[in-house]
Amino acid sequence: MVEKAGFKSFNTISKTISNHYQRILNYFDNKSTNASAESFNAKIKAFRANLRGVTDINFFLFRITKLFA
């Protein structure tokens, strides 16, 4: 019905849901979210902000693994 309506924005939403429906339903089946990954990303972002930017990528990754592993 959405495709027949001709609204392009609804087609985009429909296509997005069709492409990701398994991950969307995973929450309802397993109560599984990506909250832990988002939390870890926030910690990395805060760590990077404290350093005022990263110049040596290898050292940055070394520090991240030592602090958060």
pLDDT digits (tens, 9 = 90+) for 10-66: 778 888 888 888 878 877 777 777 788 888 888 888 887 877 777 888 888 888 788
Q: How distant is the alpha carbon of residue 47 from its chain centre? A: 18
Question: What pTM was computed for the model?
Answer: 0.44
27, 33 Cβ separation under 8 angstroms: yes
Domain parsing of the chain, residue ranges: 1-33, 34-69
Cα separation, 3 vs 18, in Å, equals 13
